[in-house]
């Protein structure tokens, strides 16, 4: 009887421990996906509140040619490409894919989302102008050299509708560079640190399969 009680207690302890470990892992993963995304106001690029001179979008991407809407003219840099865009309009549907996706960079699902997409692409262009060493290693190891731009457009969407913003690898070949348009028209943009964290995970994979 004592042996049975001890065995039952041990099994219960293991089960509780497993649940705790699983919950911890899921929490850590969710936290890592949140990353260092930063807020950005396309109507006040410099973020100044003191009435001083405002920055222009050109100041955000020195040396990079931009069109009249603030998108980089060239969509490749230092052996990496970042052409192609998709918008997910959450004001239209709680599940925009596949019927409501808007393809193409400049049209956008709202003027606000187009501004956020342009800001996200400018930020990526600046990063690719001086690529982090991890990106070069990922290209050498796995042949990955292309980005695709994705914006979750929450502009005027009902509360409760949401997606997730993170950098991830599609089909083992294409890096999805994700941004978001907030309900008030401001933006949430990935940082270089988000990309580096993602690339570090990629490099943890084996010889044929990236870890991201």
Model pLDDT for residues 166-190, shown as the tens digit of each residue: 999 999 999 999 999 999 999 999 9
The model's pTM = 0.81
Q: Parallel, antiparallel, or unpaired: how do β-strands 146-153 and 174-181 relate?
A: parallel
| CA–CA dist 163, 165 (Å, integer) | 7
Alpha helices per DSSP H over the chain = 2-34, 57-60, 111-129, 133-142, 192-203
How many CB atoms lie under 10 A from the CB of residue 41?
15
Average per-residue pLDDT for the chain: 84
pLDDT at 43: 87
Taking only the tens place, the pLDDT of each residue in 106-158 is: 999 999 999 999 999 999 999 999 999 999 999 999 999 999 999 999 999 99
């Amino acid at each position: 009887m004592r042996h049975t009680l001890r065995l039952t207690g041990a099994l219960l302890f293991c089960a509780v421990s497993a649940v705790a470990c699983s919950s911890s892992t899921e929490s850590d993963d969710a936290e890592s996906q949140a990353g260092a995304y930063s807020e950005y106001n396309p109507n006040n690029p410099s973020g100044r509140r003191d009435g001083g001179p405002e920055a222009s979008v050109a100041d955000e991407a020195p040396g990079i040619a931009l069109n009249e809407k603030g998108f980089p003219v060239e969509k490749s840099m230092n052996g990496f490409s970042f052409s192609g865009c998709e918008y997910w309009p959450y004001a239209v549907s709680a599940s925009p894919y596949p019927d409501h996706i808007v393809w193409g960079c400049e049209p956008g699902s709202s003027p606000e989302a187009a501004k956020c997409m342009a800001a996200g692409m400018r930020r990526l262009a600046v990063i690719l102008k001086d690529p982090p060493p991890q990106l070069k290693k990922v290209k050498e190891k796995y042949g990955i050299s292309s980005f695709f731009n994705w914006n979750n457009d929450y502009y005027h969407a009902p509360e409760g509708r949401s997606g997730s913003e993170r950098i991830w690898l599609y089909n083992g070949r294409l890096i999805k560079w994700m941004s978001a348009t907030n309900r008030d028209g401001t933006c949430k943009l990935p940082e270089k640190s988000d990309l580096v964290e993602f690339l570090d995970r990629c490099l943890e994979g084996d010889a044929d399969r990236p870890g991201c």
